[in-house]
Amino acid sequence: MATRLENVVFDTAQPRELAEFWSALLGWEIVGFPPDEVDVRAPESQGWALDLVFGPFGGVKTVKNRVHLDLASASPQDQLAIIERARGLGARSVDIGQGDVPWEVMADPEGNEFCVLEPREVYMNAGAVAAIVVDGVDAARMGAFWAEATGWSLHPKPAAEVGLNAPNGRGPWLEFQNGHEPKTVQNRVHLDVRPLAGDDQQTEVERLIGHGARRADIGQGDVPWEVMADPEGNEFCVLTPAR
């Protein structure tokens, strides 16, 4: 039995508008407008299924997100073009204390941080999104848990980071960084995982609890998914099994 990474979910005051920003920036398609969310989907040509999901949330962003996206570039010129396209769509460059680095730290129209990376060979098969990056206290512990949650393979990375990559080597990496303060508020960006077809949702919930997760109550009420928290308290959802 296993779960797979299904969505990156953004809590947002304006789901439609933020989805349109990310759709235009990445060149991904808006695939539907359900009553409570808007989905933006990676093209099949990238060889990996990933949706960015934008759901309504009325709170105000007060701290730097613990989960952010890194965008890939193919050349220095391409990196500059992505930065300029992002600015034209309403993003801005931000200073989070990164210092002199070769990537550009930016924020989308609602303040969600993301990075536009310089060209890196490791991301040549990733597509538009190079990595989903999670700030953490203990990257090794987080990597081990999320390897169980996604079925992806662990790979050591520079700067004491831990990365996971899908079995086919395509799509974004899932990366964990050391040295950050413990989580204090509910994340505005979280991950969804889904059991494989034929598996049982509650069996998978219990399996992940055995690896260090716990059930979480964020006021979700009676919903078909299970809200949980990983070993460092980051919220995630276990969806119903794939059909």
For each of the domains in the chain, give its residue range(s) and CATH number, in order of start: 3-177 (3.10.180.10)
**What mean pLDDT is predicted for residues 40-50?**
82
Show the CA angle centred on residue 163, arms to residues 242 and 218, nearest 5°.
55
Flag whether pLDDT at 3 surpasses 70: yes
| Predicted pLDDT at 159 | 61
Dihedral through CA 120, CA 125, CA 130, CA 136, nearest 10?
-90
- Is the pLDDT at 194 greater than 70, yes or no? yes
Under the banding of pLDDT at 50, 70 and 90, the label for residue 156 is confident
For 67-93, b/e burial (b = at least 16 CB within 10 A) is bbbbbbbeeeeebeebbeebeeebbee
**pTM for this predicted structure:** 0.95
Task: Report pLDDT for 50.
Answer: 85
**What pLDDT sits at residue 192?**
97
pLDDT, average across residues 220-240: 95
Q: What local confidence, expressed as pLDDT, does residue 217 receive?
A: 94
Closest CA to 228 of 199, 200, 187: 187
Strands 51-56 and 38-41 turn out to be antiparallel
Residue 160 has pLDDT above 70, yes or no: no
What is the C-alpha to C-alpha distance for residues 169 and 172, in angstroms, rounded to an integer?
Answer: 9
Q: How confident is the model at residue 49 (pLDDT cuts 50, 70, 90)?
A: confident
